[in-house]
Amino acid sequence: MNSTECGGGNPLSPPGEPESSATRIELPLPDDWHLHLRDGAALRHVVLASALQFGRAIVMPNLKPPVVRCDQARDYRTRIREALRAAVATAHSPVTASDQPPVLRCEPERRAWLLEEALRFEPLMTLYLTDHTTAADIDAAADSGLVHAVKLYPAGATTHADAGVSEVGRLGPVLERMQKRSLPLLVHGEVTDADIDVFDREAVFIDRVLEGLRARFPALRIVFEHITTRQAAQFVRQAEGPTAATITPQHLLYNRNAIFRGGLRPHWYCLPVLKREVHRQALLEAAVSGLPRFFLGTDSAPHAARLKEHAAACAGCYSAPHALALYATAFEAAGALDRLADFAAVFGARFYGLAPHTRRVSMLREASEVPHALPFGRGNSIVPLAAGEHLPWRFEGLIGAATG
Ligand code: DOR
Ligand code: ZN
């Protein structure tokens, strides 16, 4: 099924006319502070899309089995780099032009240069917290130089979260060590109790878990991942101590109606699930606020189309191929294109103690259609977020040698 069946119409409808008349924008090379790259064949199909648009990405550890130790993170990083090299080699000699991401449909010299640059993409690794993680694991991670954060999935909260933490209150020694070693805690903020309404899970998590965590570990660096509610935006604005949040393109562009428009639409289903319009507006306000606590994290989470178009559809939106165009669309609708650069390329880097990139990218105002499906290995396809819709911005790629 594609997104235009069942008379669904176009769910991407940014409110009002764009305020800007810019036809081209430039910004420092952005980073993606929340990304799922998967493994194996799937990894080879998705990694280049991110490497062409982003300089670095915080890579989620929810593989099966999860990445719980440094040696696993190191091996995973090696597989990501190998997959990227393989994807770049394939992209050097595509079978047809339509096999290419749009940014590579350019002069051969420029394409070769963009592909060489994409090899500089840095996967920043994370570990997956379990009930068995120890303070010694945290020391090893902090000493490794390759682990940049540790991810908390409440057990059962989402895809591959069954090995997650069953009782956050028992993580005391581990969180204390993370605080001491300045290793950020990345939080999937949802309670999983069956009696809590699925749309309330994030707000209840703030009351039951996050407020307490923030107070008990005042110097712990916390990133509240993929926030979806007014309450979460408010919490992050007001929290004491080093607190930040990532915001996805789908939560900036859509409210929960998108999941039900003209039929059930699994490609708009992710966790935490899309919420009411009032929440989308609060997130957009936070994203364009200019506050350095809010930054880009796509949560691009690829699943094969057959597992999304399924009786028990997997949670996750695949936004990586056109992530920046989606963010530009949302920022422009809010009259805040000039705030995109900080959100996408500066604030996150600073929170993680890294320098923003000096390399720059450009985007062009040029309507382009999001493909209905993309190859995903082993006969599978994947349906990207906003498939079949037209975005007003197109990512042009790095500015520099052989720009033409
Ligand atoms: O929708 C989601 N998909 N939310 C998550 O937290 C995990 C992700 C995935 O890994 O597919
Ligand atoms: Zn995620």
Every domain of the chain and the residues it spans: 5-398
User: Which bound ligand lies closest to the C-alpha atom of 154?
Assistant: 1
pLDDT at 157: 79
Q: CA–CA separation, 35 vs 50, rounded Å?
A: 9
Q: In whole angstroms, how far apart are CA 196 and each of 158, 201, 202, 312, 341?
A: 15, 6, 10, 20, 38
Q: Which of 320, 318, 302, 309 is nearest to 160 (CA)?
A: 302
Centre of ligand 1 from the C-alpha of residue 62, in Å = 9
pLDDT at 150: 98
Helix (H), strand (E) at residue 50: helix 40-53
pLDDT at 41: 93
Q: Which of 384, 256, 400 is nearest to 323 (CA)?
A: 384
Centre of ligand 1 from the C-alpha of residue 226, in Å = 10
User: Which bound ligand lies closest to the C-alpha atom of 298?
Assistant: 2
Ligand 1 within 6 A of 159 CB? yes
Strands in 279-383 per DSSP E: 294-296, 360-369, 374-375, 381-382
Sign, CA dihedral 20-247-289-358, equals: negative
Question: Ligand 1, atom 3: nearest CA belongs to which residue?
Answer: 316
Q: In whole angstroms, how far apart are CA 11 and each of 3, 250, 323, 386?
A: 9, 11, 17, 8
CATH of domain 5-398: 3.20.20.140
Ligand 1 within 6 A of 270 CB? yes
Centre of ligand 2 from the C-alpha of residue 220, in Å = 21
Question: Ligand 1, atom 2: nearest CA belongs to which residue?
Answer: 316
pLDDT at 18: 53
Ligand 1 nearest-atom number relative to CA 270: 1
Ligand 1 nearest-atom number relative to CA 225: 6
Question: Ligand 1, atom 7: nearest CA belongs to which residue?
Answer: 159
Rg (CA), the chain: 20
Residue 321 backbone dihedrals phi, psi, to 5 degrees: -60, -30
Ligand 1 within 6 A of 188 CB? yes
Environment of ion ligand 2 (residues, CB < 5 A): 299
pLDDT at 5: 40
Active site residues: 299
Question: Are 141 and 185 in contact, with CB atoms under 8 Å apart?
Answer: no
pTM: 0.95
Residue spans of alpha helices (H) in 131-248: 135-144, 172-181, 201-205, 211-216, 230-238
Question: Are 190 and 271 in contact, with CB atoms under 8 Å apart?
Answer: yes
pLDDT along the chain (404 residues), means of 10: 40 52 94 98 96 98 97 98 97 76 92 97 98 97 97 88 89 97 98 95 97 97 98 98 98 98 98 98 98 98 97 97 98 97 98 98 95 91 97 95 52
Centre of ligand 2 from the C-alpha of residue 15, in Å = 27
Centre of ligand 1 from the C-alpha of residue 163, in Å = 14
Cα 322 from chain centre: 12
Ligand 1 within 6 A of 152 CB? no
